[in-house]
Structure 1
Amino acid sequence: MTEAKTVYFIDDEELLRIAGQQTLELAGIDCVCFDRAEAALEQIAPDFEGVIVTDLRMPGMGGVALLHAVLQKDPQIPVILVTGHGDIELAVAMMRDGAYDFIEKPYEPERLIDTVRRALAMRRLTLENRQLRSQVKSALRAHDRFRGFSGAMDRMRKQISETAATDANVLIVGETGTGKGLAAQALHGDSPRAGNPFIAINCAALPADGIESELFGHEAGAHAGALRTRIGRFEHARRGTLFLDEIDSLPMATQGKLLSAVENKTIQRLGSHDPIDLDVRFVAASKTNLEEAVANGTFRGDLLYRLNVVTLQMPTLAARREDIPILFLTFVGQVADRYDLPAPHVPGATLDAIAAREWPGNARELRNAAERFVLGLPEGSDTQNAPSASLSDRMSDHERALIAASLTAHEGRLKDTYEALGISRKALYEKMTRYGLDKSSFADPAS
């Protein structure tokens, strides 16, 4: 990124504007002058690469109103206030509200140049950090879709990475909200098939009277209403990955046709006897125990054994409680981006409370809570699951989650963490060692 050099200089007095512009341009700093704050504000966007120097008192919109309007657009744009002697107390108060600095009239040219240069340097670093954060986020979305540093997630990432490189069929099992669809996308995205289609089918949402046409397609005239040939979802997935979510919802007759497709890698459209080669990888998901479904006669055992060449068990949030704070912060950032809102600060006490809660809906429920937090909506009812672990285990889990939450809130800074927790440095080290917590896992990746 090129060095930020633009200054918007705002003053209703023409002689002061001319003097300020000449001073800055002689120092090699680009300067654009405005006689009204309103005109300057129209030109300022969140990606503005410069700083603002504005008189405090002007007709119409004054410096205070301009400061607040600019910070609404981007709270990190440096605003330098030019004040008279009687406004120093107000200028100091405005610095508490977010102003970068103030200069008292009459000022020496060197004072203006020095203040502007420091502000430009800070703006450049701010924009560079944002760019790095954006790159890191993109990398995380592409290669590290599952946030968290728990042992459960380390094992999950390793298993997905190893399995993605093969062409084995995969069965993903886990409770609602544990990220089964995300795991399927990761298997596809990290596989040699990544450049080809990823077709996701929710088997529970398929129309009961047209399920086979939807999956396998049909020829014109195959049945009433089949006016033209239809290509099924399986054909659309050729050379890619076919993800069958809630596969336990498929009727037994359709399970038989699916078994044939998995075994023979061919399908036939309804109304046709011509086989169609099916080069796909099958990934299925279920929140129910399919082995029990086989025992109950509601799922075919031979289909299960064709699909579960590799089985991925998605961990619940209860099994990775230390990941809850970083997941919540990630969701807050994603929700803020979606609504084009600034990401709100999440106090450490809030993270502590979130880490201590039960989340029966897992990551999906946690994401909903993050959305309510960003939008400023009241928190929903906290449905608690009856804990099954011993009191000692629950207390250890709770303590580990609280320490992880505080480390997350303080980006791995140990001094801030043990002071916030009210314990000694030695005690924090001992507890981190006991719970397998590494401060580097909590550091801001863009810092």
Structure 2
Amino acid sequence: MKQPADIILVDDDDDLRHALRQGLELEDLSVIDFKAPADALSILGGNFDGAVISDIRMPQMDGMAFMAKILEIDPAIPVILVTGHGDITLAVEAMREGAYDFIPKPFRVADIGAVTRRALERRRLVLENRALRSELDAGTDMAERFVGRSASITALRDEVALVAETDADVVIVGETGAGKEVIARALHDYSQRSDAQFVALNCAALPPDIFESELFGHEAGAFTGAQKQRIGKLEHADGGTVFLDEIESMPLDLQAKLLRAIEDRTIERLGSNRQIPLDVRFVAATKSDLGEESQAGRFRADLYYRLNVVTLAIPPLRQRPEDIPLLFVHLARQARARYRRDLPEFTPALEADLLAHDWPGNVRELRNNADRWVLGLWNGFSRRADNSVEDLQGPLPDRMAAFEKAIIEAEIRKAGGRLRDVYETLGISRKGLYEKMRKHGITAEDAR
């Protein structure tokens, strides 16, 4: 069902209904009005993303009965009730029965416009949260591993599924915290090697003097302290997958030995001359450009070309902002299970904070913040003039200004610079948005 308007207005008083409609339209809100509640119900559905304003005192069906029928369709549709009687008891009953707000006559159009904008924002958030939950609940295992709906993450899921079916060696390129090991495990789990070992080795974490022994193993007596035979990581992974994380950190002399193992698919333990057949798939991960590293002499070019049968590049979070809320909710649900806590309310302020941040730590940083949110330790972010991020601190006016600026910048990025989408989403006039942008020194290009 196509969205009819921001507001469905119902009042049996023709003069008042027409006057209120004109006033709300001057507030940049789109309105469709009805004299009879039954006519309004005919266009309402669960996907209605607006709000309903209704008089209470009406013949045939009063506002309370009308609201009850609306909430049967969807209990989260905001219903704002208007009455000229100023009945406090009725107001309390209406709120208890599910009304979003209760406005007595006489009222200013600007006041009811402000209430309506808050109701529209709440409705937008409810529908967005439902969409997020629906996508998460309906996702496949692959979608659960690589959460997102952006074109880049969708393409990456397809590439992983395609490459996993092969035995091709792979280089995964991505920034810190982007999820390189998640890709590597998916390549293993979706391959014919899934029943064998997945062996991960962080090349930056091993001291050079034990690196070779870790990789290839050793015989008893091969060196001082080698009291018994030890199976190396490569041999242990026979039949499975070896994940070499931060491979750019591997010493050059070991790179030559690794190259031979990859080419010949055989290894020798330290202290032995026996060739051991090796049936493994190599997946290497790096946050550097191995091509540039090899040209600079910091990485062997022959190893780079031997490993680089397939390259999978992980886009950083800042390049796919549409994925951030979905991924945050997914990580929060995991945190909820770990900490046995209820999920807090996902608010517009939280969404604005998430979208305003650059996420240099990518998914790992997002996961940490999701954990803090679930634990009730969320502090939020605010942008400084130098485009860095800090916790919201200082006097209240400064915090409010910084927060407002962050929200506007986030919405501009989300809308791709289309300012009409921004002021409609924020529930303000075009003039109001331009004034706020001038106040905070925001340009659409800078925000993007």
* TM-score interval, smaller chain: 0.5 to 0.7
Matched residues in 1 for 2:342 and 2:228: separation? 50
Matched residues in 2 for 1:198 and 1:342: separation? 34
The Cα shift of 1:402 comes to: 11
Matched residues in 2 for 1:383 and 1:285: separation? 32
The Cα shift of 1:357 comes to: 2.1
Give the match for residue 413 of structure 2: 397
Cα distance change of structure 1 residues 137 and 282 upon mapping to structure 2, 3 Å threshold: farther
The Cα shift of 1:176 comes to: 0.7
Matched residues in 1 for 2:134 and 2:151: separation? 27
The Cα shift of 1:383 comes to: 7.5
Give the match for residue 238 of structure 2: 238
- Which deviates further from its counterpart, 141-150 or 166-175? 141-150
The Cα shift of 1:247 comes to: 0.2
Map 1:42-441 to 2 at 5 A.
Answer: 140-141=140-141, 144-379=144-379, 397-399=413-415, 421-422=426-427
Question: Structure 2 counterpart of 1:398, which letter?
Answer: K
Cα distance change of structure 1 residues 194 and 381 upon mapping to structure 2, 3 Å threshold: same
Question: Structure 1 counterpart of 2:198, which letter?
Answer: F
The Cα shift of 1:379 comes to: 2.6
The Cα shift of 1:298 comes to: 1.1
- Partner of 1:158, secondary structure, is helix
Question: Structure 1 counterpart of 2:190, which letter?
Answer: D
Question: Structure 1 counterpart of 2:413, which letter?
Answer: D
Question: Structure 2 counterpart of 1:328, which letter?
Answer: F
Q: Deviations over 1:222-271 (max 9, x none)?
A: 00000000000111111111000000111011101100011000100000
Cα distance change of structure 1 residues 144 and 191 upon mapping to structure 2, 3 Å threshold: farther
- Which deviates further from its counterpart, 147-156 or 338-347? 338-347
Q: Deviations over 1:287-313 (max 9, x none)?
A: 011112111111100000011100011
Cα distance change of structure 1 residues 286 and 162 upon mapping to structure 2, 3 Å threshold: same
Give the match for residue 19 of structure 1: none
The Cα shift of 1:352 comes to: 2.7
Matched residues in 1 for 2:418 and 2:217: separation? 53
Q: What is the root-mean-square deviation in Å for CA atoms of aligned residues?
A: 3.4
Cα distance change of structure 1 residues 401 and 253 upon mapping to structure 2, 3 Å threshold: farther
Using the aligned pairs only, state the percent identity.
50
Question: Structure 2 counterpart of 1:344, which letter?
Answer: P
The Cα shift of 1:208 comes to: 2.1
Give the match for residue 56 of structure 1: none
Residue 355 of structure 2 contacts residue 410 of structure 2 at CA under 8 Å; is this kept in 1?
no
Cα distance change of structure 1 residues 311 and 386 upon mapping to structure 2, 3 Å threshold: farther
Cα distance change of structure 1 residues 383 and 335 upon mapping to structure 2, 3 Å threshold: farther
Matched residues in 1 for 2:418 and 2:273: separation? 62
Question: Structure 1 counterpart of 2:371, which letter?
Answer: E
Cα distance change of structure 1 residues 228 and 376 upon mapping to structure 2, 3 Å threshold: same
Matched residues in 2 for 1:231 and 1:285: separation? 23
The Cα shift of 1:138 comes to: 9.9
Residue 352 of structure 2 contacts residue 411 of structure 2 at CA under 8 Å; is this kept in 1?
no
The Cα shift of 1:165 comes to: 0.9
Cα distance change of structure 1 residues 337 and 198 upon mapping to structure 2, 3 Å threshold: same
Cα distance change of structure 1 residues 302 and 382 upon mapping to structure 2, 3 Å threshold: farther
Q: Which runs of 5+ in 1 are unaligned?
A: 1-88, 99-132, 388-392, 407-416, 425-447
Residue 136 of structure 2 contacts residue 144 of structure 2 at CA under 8 Å; is this kept in 1?
no
Cα distance change of structure 1 residues 276 and 331 upon mapping to structure 2, 3 Å threshold: same
Q: Deviations over 1:184-241 (max 9, x none)?
A: 1111111111111111111111122111111100000000000000000111111111
Cα distance change of structure 1 residues 318 and 136 upon mapping to structure 2, 3 Å threshold: closer
Residue 352 of structure 1 contacts residue 402 of structure 1 at CA under 8 Å; is this kept in 2?
no
Cα distance change of structure 1 residues 292 and 97 upon mapping to structure 2, 3 Å threshold: farther
Give the match for residue 41 of structure 1: none
Cα distance change of structure 1 residues 358 and 401 upon mapping to structure 2, 3 Å threshold: farther
- Partner of 2:257, secondary structure, is helix
Matched residues in 2 for 1:402 and 1:208: separation? 53
The Cα shift of 1:284 comes to: 0.1
Residue 142 of structure 2 contacts residue 157 of structure 2 at CA under 8 Å; is this kept in 1?
no
- Partner of 2:379, secondary structure, is coil
Q: Deviations over 1:337-396 (max 9, x none)?
A: 111112222113311331232211111111111111111114376677859xxxxx9975
Give the alignment's TM-score, normalised by structure 1: 0.57
Cα distance change of structure 1 residues 201 and 356 upon mapping to structure 2, 3 Å threshold: same
Q: Which runs of 5+ in 2 are unaligned?
A: 1-88, 99-132, 389-408, 430-448
The Cα shift of 1:145 comes to: 1.0
Residue 175 of structure 2 contacts residue 316 of structure 2 at CA under 8 Å; is this kept in 1?
yes
Matched residues in 1 for 2:329 and 2:317: separation? 15
Give the alignment's TM-score, normalised by structure 2: 0.57
- Displaced runs of 4 or more, over 3 A: 95-98, 133-144, 380-387, 393-396, 400-403, 417-424
